């Protein structure tokens, strides 16, 4: 049997942003079974449909170009895979492209975010100028202090805020941290915030493929 490594890019928006990372596996699993695509199961006593998500997305955040891998046991045109999966997935999870993996998930270096929030642009610009932006970050070992400032790249403040932050298995920064820090800085509570991960980049600077 051929083993065709397959990578799908998908968007996770609106209602689907409330699907937790844990539940996302099940949602994809069911969609794949439903689509009747011939897929590879892990071997062993308890075979499991193999799906790997490249980079977890925080609950409540939207993603426009998320990536997941699985294996097909037959060659199937990518457009057909996209179509069959979309027919089976919940409305707010959409496959945008099916391709063959080029990079590994360990190649992931950073991600681009778009933030729509009700806050004062001037204040935020002032905040972004601070010498240091110290935040507490939960890690497996406990809580450590990180300075966001040197990690923020390509920051643009217009009616939306866009920026890039380190991403990946080794070092990942959640943009929510930045806005928590801003709330502390300005003393105002942000009532409405929408964080969207728009793109993922590899170490070589290219978009993740």
| Using rule CB under 8 A, residue 46 touches another protein | no
| Using rule CB under 8 A, residue 94 touches another protein | no
- Let me know if 198 is exposed, middle or buried by CB neighbors in 10 A (0-12, 13-18, 19+): middle
CB of 87 to another protein, least distance (A): 10
| Using rule CB under 8 A, residue 31 touches another protein | yes
Going by the DSSP 8-state scheme, the letter that residue 39 receives in this structure is B
Q: Which of 2, 3, 26, 74 binds another protein (CB under 8 A)?
A: 26
In 42-192, the DSSP E strands lie at 51-53, 62-72, 93-99, 108-117, 134-139, 142-147, 153-157, 161-166
> How many residues bind another protein, per CB under 8 A?
28
| Using rule CB under 8 A, residue 119 touches another protein | no
Q: Which of 39, 89, 109, 161 binds another protein (CB under 8 A)?
A: 89
Cβ neighbours of residue 51 closer than 8 Å, sequence gap 6 or more: 25, 28, 29, 32, 68, 69, 70
| Using rule CB under 8 A, residue 29 touches another protein | yes
Binding site for another protein (CB under 8 A): 14-16, 18-20, 23, 26-27, 29-34, 36, 41, 47, 59-60, 88-92, 191-192, 194
């Amino acid at each position: 049997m051929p083993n065709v490594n397959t990578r799908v890019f998908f968007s996770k928006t609106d209602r689907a942003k409330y699907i937790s990372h844990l539940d996302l596996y099940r949602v994809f699993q069911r969609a794949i079974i439903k689509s009747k695509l011939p897929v590879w199961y892990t071997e062993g006593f308890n075979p499991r449909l193999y799906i790997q998500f490249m980079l977890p997305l925080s609950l409540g955040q939207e993603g426009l170009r998320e990536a997941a891998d699985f294996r097909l046991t037959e060659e199937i045109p990518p457009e057909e895979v996209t179509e069959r999966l979309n027919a089976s997935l919940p409305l707010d999870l959409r496959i945008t492209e099916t391709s063959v993996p080029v990079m590994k998930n360990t190649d992931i270096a950073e991600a681009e975010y778009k933030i729509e929030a009700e806050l004062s642009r001037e204040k935020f610009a002032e905040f972004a100028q601070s010498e240091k932006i110290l935040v507490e970050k939960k890690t497996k070992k406990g809580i450590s202090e990180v300075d966001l400032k040197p990690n923020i790249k390509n920051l643009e403040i217009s009616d939306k805020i866009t920026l890039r932050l380190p991403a990946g298995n080794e070092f990942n920064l959640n943009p929510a941290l930045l806005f928590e820090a801003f709330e502390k800085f300005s003393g105002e509570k942000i009532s409405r915030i929408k964080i969207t991960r728009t793109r993922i980049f590899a170490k070589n600077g290219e978009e993740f493929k």
